[in-house]
Amino acid sequence: MLGCALATAARAEVRIEGTPAALQVTTREVVVADVLAALATSLDVKYRSAIPLDRAANAAYAGSLREVIARLLEGYNYVLRKEQDRTEIVVFGRRGEAAVPPRPPKPATPSVISRWK
Protein backbone atom coordinates (compact mmCIF):
# COMPACT_ATOMS: atom_id res chain seq x y z
CA MET A 1 0.00 0.00 0.00
CA LEU A 2 2.88 2.37 0.75
CA GLY A 3 4.28 1.70 -2.72
CA CYS A 4 1.02 2.87 -4.33
CA ALA A 5 1.08 6.10 -2.33
CA LEU A 6 4.68 6.79 -3.33
CA ALA A 7 3.94 6.08 -6.99
CA THR A 8 1.04 8.55 -6.95
CA ALA A 9 3.11 11.26 -5.25
CA ALA A 10 5.97 10.76 -7.70
CA ARG A 11 3.73 11.60 -10.68
CA ALA A 12 2.49 14.94 -9.32
CA GLU A 13 4.57 17.77 -10.72
CA VAL A 14 4.63 21.54 -11.18
CA ARG A 15 7.29 23.06 -13.43
CA ILE A 16 7.77 26.84 -13.56
CA GLU A 17 9.99 28.51 -16.15
CA GLY A 18 10.59 32.13 -17.06
CA THR A 19 10.03 35.46 -15.35
CA PRO A 20 6.87 37.14 -14.03
CA ALA A 21 6.61 38.97 -17.38
CA ALA A 22 6.84 35.77 -19.47
CA LEU A 23 5.96 32.69 -17.48
CA GLN A 24 5.34 29.09 -18.45
CA VAL A 25 3.80 26.68 -15.92
CA THR A 26 3.26 23.02 -16.68
CA THR A 27 1.51 20.67 -14.27
CA ARG A 28 0.76 17.02 -13.90
CA GLU A 29 -1.79 15.60 -11.46
CA VAL A 30 -1.86 18.57 -9.09
CA VAL A 31 -4.50 20.85 -7.62
CA VAL A 32 -4.65 24.65 -7.72
CA ALA A 33 -3.13 24.92 -4.21
CA ASP A 34 -0.05 22.99 -5.38
CA VAL A 35 0.50 25.42 -8.26
CA LEU A 36 0.15 28.45 -5.98
CA ALA A 37 2.60 26.89 -3.51
CA ALA A 38 5.10 26.34 -6.34
CA LEU A 39 4.67 29.95 -7.50
CA ALA A 40 5.25 31.11 -3.91
CA THR A 41 8.49 29.13 -3.80
CA SER A 42 9.75 30.18 -7.24
CA LEU A 43 8.59 33.80 -7.39
CA ASP A 44 7.77 36.49 -4.86
CA VAL A 45 4.13 35.38 -4.51
CA LYS A 46 2.16 35.10 -1.29
CA TYR A 47 -1.32 33.60 -1.16
CA ARG A 48 -4.13 32.99 1.32
CA SER A 49 -7.43 31.23 0.85
CA ALA A 50 -10.65 31.03 2.81
CA ILE A 51 -11.53 27.73 1.09
CA PRO A 52 -9.62 24.61 0.03
CA LEU A 53 -8.13 25.05 -3.45
CA ASP A 54 -8.56 21.40 -4.34
CA ARG A 55 -9.79 21.74 -7.92
CA ALA A 56 -7.54 20.03 -10.47
CA ALA A 57 -5.16 22.38 -12.27
CA ASN A 58 -4.94 22.48 -16.06
CA ALA A 59 -1.92 20.96 -17.76
CA ALA A 60 -0.27 24.21 -18.90
CA TYR A 61 -0.40 27.97 -18.41
CA ALA A 62 1.57 30.63 -20.25
CA GLY A 63 1.72 34.42 -20.16
CA SER A 64 2.51 37.03 -17.57
CA LEU A 65 2.18 36.12 -13.90
CA ARG A 66 -1.13 38.02 -13.76
CA GLU A 67 -2.47 36.11 -16.80
CA VAL A 68 -1.36 32.74 -15.39
CA ILE A 69 -3.03 33.47 -12.06
CA ALA A 70 -6.23 34.59 -13.82
CA ARG A 71 -6.41 31.29 -15.74
CA LEU A 72 -5.41 29.23 -12.70
CA LEU A 73 -8.06 30.85 -10.49
CA GLU A 74 -10.81 30.88 -13.12
CA GLY A 75 -14.03 30.09 -11.29
CA TYR A 76 -12.80 31.53 -7.99
CA ASN A 77 -13.44 34.92 -6.40
CA TYR A 78 -10.07 36.44 -5.58
CA VAL A 79 -8.12 39.64 -5.24
CA LEU A 80 -4.64 40.13 -6.65
CA ARG A 81 -2.45 42.88 -5.25
CA LYS A 82 0.93 43.81 -6.68
CA GLU A 83 3.30 45.86 -4.57
CA GLN A 84 6.74 46.44 -6.10
CA ASP A 85 8.03 42.92 -6.88
CA ARG A 86 5.67 41.04 -4.54
CA THR A 87 2.30 39.66 -5.63
CA GLU A 88 -0.32 38.80 -3.03
CA ILE A 89 -3.39 36.69 -3.79
CA VAL A 90 -6.42 36.29 -1.53
CA VAL A 91 -9.04 33.73 -2.55
CA PHE A 92 -12.51 34.25 -1.01
CA GLY A 93 -14.53 31.44 -2.53
CA ARG A 94 -15.86 29.92 -5.72
CA ARG A 95 -17.89 32.01 -8.15
CA GLY A 96 -21.60 31.44 -7.79
CA GLU A 97 -21.36 30.27 -4.19
CA ALA A 98 -22.20 32.32 -1.15
CA ALA A 99 -19.36 34.52 -0.02
CA VAL A 100 -17.43 33.66 3.10
CA PRO A 101 -19.81 34.58 5.91
CA PRO A 102 -18.77 37.57 7.97
CA ARG A 103 -17.84 37.08 11.58
CA PRO A 104 -20.84 37.42 13.87
CA PRO A 105 -20.91 40.69 15.77
CA LYS A 106 -19.51 40.63 19.26
CA PRO A 107 -22.24 40.53 21.88
CA ALA A 108 -22.79 43.81 23.61
CA THR A 109 -21.13 44.01 26.98
CA PRO A 110 -23.88 44.10 29.59
CA SER A 111 -24.06 47.29 31.55
CA VAL A 112 -23.70 47.35 35.30
CA ILE A 113 -27.39 48.13 35.64
CA SER A 114 -28.51 45.12 33.58
CA ARG A 115 -26.42 42.79 35.75
CA TRP A 116 -28.33 43.86 38.87
CA LYS A 117 -31.83 43.30 37.50
Report the C-alpha gap between 21 and 30 in whole angstroms: 24
Q: Where are the domains of the chain?
A: 11-97
- pLDDT at 52 exceeding the cut of 50: yes
Write down the mean pLDDT value for the chain.
84
Do residues 32 and 75 touch, judged by C-beta distance below 8 A?
A: no
C-alpha neighbours within 13 Å on the C-beta side of residue 63: 10
How confident is the model over 60-102, as pLDDT tens digits? 999 999 999 999 999 999 999 999 889 999 999 998 776 555 5
Whether the full predicted model's pTM is greater than 0.75, yes or no, is: no
Domain 11-97 has CATH 3.90.1070: no
Please compute the mean of the pLDDT values over residues 99-113 and round it to a whole number: 60
How confident is the model over 37-47, as pLDDT tens digits? 999 999 999 99
Cβ of 28: how many Cβ atoms within 10 Å? 12
- pLDDT at 24 exceeding the cut of 80: yes
- pLDDT at 1 exceeding the cut of 90: no
Kind plus residue range of the DSSP H or E element containing 102? none
